[in-house]
């Protein structure tokens, strides 16, 4: 083909005696180009006015050929394209071929991106006009912009993403290198957000995050200063500071704007956030600065959330400690370092042991017994809680069955479930499997969940309904400290409420707590639920609970959590009752 074309041109050229570089069929070619070329071109005079245009310009510009004739090209241009276009025309008039991306305005006002390629039209060595080839690149531009947007912005909030933030941070670190004022950043995590997501669903969570993002932009309003890093985590550029305290002031403002309740579907929602702050030290690049802010954030979370922490050099080993801890925990399970303690639960009317709660302990080779408060949150965070929780369930059921087989009174054992365990899909299958394996009858297993786990009412009801079908009991632990709704208490198949020990503790001193406890008992009974009070430490507390017809109690007053061997002794002692001294009961009665 190439050969044939070359031959065609050469042959045609030879026929044009006047100008050998122009084909003999010049006029036919021009006619075809002008009328049928898919590429649009315009002829512009030396003053930049339209002389001619091959296509109907209506579609592209919104003007007819007649409208455009004699009009200035520049008039169509977007302001930003003025200067470069004029420069291009100028160079073309001087004989250059040029190419340029410009933006024009359609007659109805919307922007159109064009690529123009300009060539001089020369007659006898002089440029008499400019030929402008015009290509609509709006679609290509849009695709590029979309790709850029997807690469540098978060789709949901429209905020810059991690990549965008890191690029900006790197630039600022470069710009401020060697200066006295140093860049400061914060890393923010919304407290308890996973709970919102698991309880209300992702859509709800997303709407809440949008509102959080909007609030944050009030404090970090310069473009690029605020980014959504992932999930419920945001990063903010706090500016350049001379000392960390300056960054802290900005962070306090951020915490303040989040204080006001959010509203979703008319429901007010209180949120808080934990923040980690880092100020650049010599040698820090963007990644190490972010890592420092992240380490500080973890510290803020460990310290009870809803707070901020400024990174200090001693903090990095802590992260390492944490990893080691996670690793040790996993090793401990296979090394059988976890044990269960059992705390008896007493019937308040008879004083008899009617149940027990299995409480996990880690018998650490060097540190002795570690309480669950220290390792359950870490286990929950890493997901290790699932195998660990399985072990607790199996061990508690096996032990209870063993005691029953030994002829001891048949009483249920309570097992605490963590959030992750409760929300796993195969929870009921697991419970069924453990019961089958150990041979424990389902009515002797009670599962303790917390109020927050019932926030996703649909999910919780499905799960609880299946557990109920299995014949397993369910109680609400730490009742009164979380979100409560009469609706779920009435509708979910729950058997028992465990009044949180914080209310029981001050029953004697705090009339408010006393009122809460008696109200919970009355309400539970009206809803046909059993009530147990936890953390009962004194005789007076016990009497108060009896007077208010609380069904059961658990706490140091009866017995602390005991190793299995000691619990066995307690169960064997048929006479074991908690001490009910007549005198103190009489004293309590006279109080009323």
446 counts as binding Mg ion under rule CB under 5 A: no
551 counts as binding Mg ion under rule CB under 5 A: no
389 counts as binding ligand C2E under rule CB under 6 A: yes
Closest contact distance (angstroms) between CB of 227 and ligand C2E is 35
477 counts as binding Mg ion under rule CB under 5 A: yes
456 counts as binding Mg ion under rule CB under 5 A: no
552: partner contacted, choices ligand C2E, Mg ion, none (Cβ within 5-8 A by kind):
none
418: partner contacted, choices Mg ion, ligand C2E, none (Cβ within 5-8 A by kind):
ligand C2E
Running DSSP on this structure, what letter comes out for residue 161?
A: -
Residue number with CB closer to ligand C2E (208 or 476)? 476
Binding segment for ligand C2E (CB under 6 A), chosen from 23-31, 224-232, 466-474, 553-561, is: 553-561
371: partner contacted, choices ligand C2E, Mg ion, none (Cβ within 5-8 A by kind):
ligand C2E
C-alpha distances (whole Å) from 323 to each of 157, 241, 288, 319, 505 are 32, 32, 18, 6, 36
186 counts as binding ligand C2E under rule CB under 6 A: no
At 442 the three-state DSSP class reads helix
Return d(Cα 460, Cα 342) in angstroms, integer: 27
Label each residue of 470-516 as H, E or C.
HCCEEEEEEECCCCCCHHHHHHCCCCEEEECHHHHHCCCCCHHHHHH
451 counts as binding Mg ion under rule CB under 5 A: no
Closest contact distance (angstroms) between CB of 415 and Mg ion is 9
Q: Count H helices, E strands: the chain?
A: 23, 22
513 counts as binding Mg ion under rule CB under 5 A: no
Residue number with CB closer to ligand C2E (208 or 415)? 415
* Residue 228, token pair as written in the block: 């959504």
Q: Which of 287, 350, 371, 443 binds ligand C2E (CB under 6 A)?
A: 371
From first CA to last CA, the distance across the chain in angstroms is 112
159 counts as binding ligand C2E under rule CB under 6 A: no
Strand blocks (E) in 106-245: 111-123, 126-136, 182-190, 226-230, 233-241
At 439 the three-state DSSP class reads coil
Return d(Cα 222, Cα 379) in angstroms, integer: 39
Closest contact distance (angstroms) between CB of 501 and Mg ion is 6
* Residue 179, token pair as written in the block: 């200066």
Q: Which of 372, 412, 442, 480 binds ligand C2E (CB under 6 A)?
A: 372
Do residues 189 and 125 touch, judged by C-beta distance below 8 A? no
Q: Which of 276, 412, 480, 561 binds ligand C2E (CB under 6 A)?
A: 561
Residue number with CB closer to ligand C2E (250 or 498)? 498
448 counts as binding Mg ion under rule CB under 5 A: yes
- Plot region of 474 (φ>0 → left; ψ -120 to 50 → alpha; else → beta): beta
- Binding residues (CB under 6 A) for ligand C2E: these are 343, 359-360, 371-373, 376, 389, 392, 416-418, 448, 477-478, 501, 534-537, 555-556, 561
């Amino acid at each position: 083909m190439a050969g044939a074309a070359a031959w065609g041109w050469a042959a045609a050229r030879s026929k044009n005696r006047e100008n050998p570089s122009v084909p003999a069929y010049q006029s036919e070619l021009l006619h075809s180009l002008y009328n049928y070329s898919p590429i649009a071109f315009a002829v512009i005079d030396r003053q930049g006015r339209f002389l001619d245009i091959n296509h109907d310009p209506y579609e592209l510009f919104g003007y007819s050929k007649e409208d455009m004739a004699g009009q200035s090209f520049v008039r169509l241009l977007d302001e930003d394209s003025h200067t470069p276009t004029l420069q291009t025309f100028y160079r073309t008039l001087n004989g250059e071929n040029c190419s340029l991306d410009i933006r024009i305005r359609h007659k109805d006002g919307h922007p159109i991106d064009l690529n123009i390629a300009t060539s001089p039209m020369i007659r006898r060595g002089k440029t008499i006009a400019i030929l402008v080839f015009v290509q609509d690149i709006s679609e290509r531009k849009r695709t590029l912009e979309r790709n850029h947007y997807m690469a540098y912005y978060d789709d949901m909030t429209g905020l810059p993403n991690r990549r965008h933030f890191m690029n900006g941070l790197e630039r600022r670190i470069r710009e401020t290198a060697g200066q006295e004022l140093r860049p400061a950043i914060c890393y923010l995590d919304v407290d308890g957000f996973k709970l919102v997501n698991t309880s209300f669903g992702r859509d709800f969570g997303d709407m809440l995050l949008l509102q959080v993002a909007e609030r944050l932009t009030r404090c970090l309003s310069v473009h690029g200063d605020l980014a959504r890093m992932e999930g419920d985590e945001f990063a903010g550029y706090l500016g350049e500071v001379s000392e960390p305290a300056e960054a802290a002031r900005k962070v306090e403002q951020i915490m303040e704007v989040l204080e006001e309740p959010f509203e979703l579907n008319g429901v007010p929602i209180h949120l808080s956030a934990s923040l980690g702050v880092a100020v650049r030290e010599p040698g820090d690049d963007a990644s190490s600065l972010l890592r420092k802010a992240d380490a500080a954030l973890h510290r803020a979370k460990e310290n009870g959330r809803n707070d901020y922490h400024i990174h200090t050099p001693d903090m990095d080993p802590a992260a390492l400690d944490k990893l080691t801890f996670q690793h040790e925990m996993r090793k401990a399970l296979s090394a059988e370092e976890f044990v269960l303690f059992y705390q008896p639960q007493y019937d308040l009317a008879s004083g008899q042991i009617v149940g027990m709660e299995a409480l996990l302990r880690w018998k650490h080779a060097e540190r002795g017994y570690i309480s669950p408060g220290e390792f359950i949150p870490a286990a929950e965070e890493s997901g290790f809680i699932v195998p660990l929780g399985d072990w607790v369930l199996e061990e508690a059921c096996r032990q209870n069955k063993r005691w029953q087989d030994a002829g001891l009174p048949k009483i249920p054992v309570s097992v605490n479930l963590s959030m992750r365990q409760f929300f796993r899909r195969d929870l009921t299958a697991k419970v069924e499997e453990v019961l089958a394996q150990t041979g424990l009858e389902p009515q002797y297993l009670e599962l303790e969940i917390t109020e927050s786990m019932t926030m996703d009412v649909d999910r919780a009801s499905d799960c609880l309904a299946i557990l109920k079908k299995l014949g397993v009991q369910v109680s609400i632990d730490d009742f009164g400290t979380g979100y409560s709704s009469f609706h779920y208490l009435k509708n979910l198949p729950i058997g028992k409420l465990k009044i949180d020990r914080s209310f029981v503790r001050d029953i004697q001193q705090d009339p408010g707590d006393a009122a809460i406890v008696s109200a919970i008992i009355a309400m539970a009974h009206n809803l046909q639920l059993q009530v147990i009070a936890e953390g009962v430490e004194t005789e007076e507390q016990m009497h108060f609970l009896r007077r208010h017809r609380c069904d059961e109690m658990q706490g140091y007053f009866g017995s602390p959590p005991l190793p299995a061997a000691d619990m066995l002794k307690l169960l064997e002692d048929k006479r074991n009752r908690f001490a009910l001294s007549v005198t103190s009961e009489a004293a309590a009665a006279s109080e009323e």
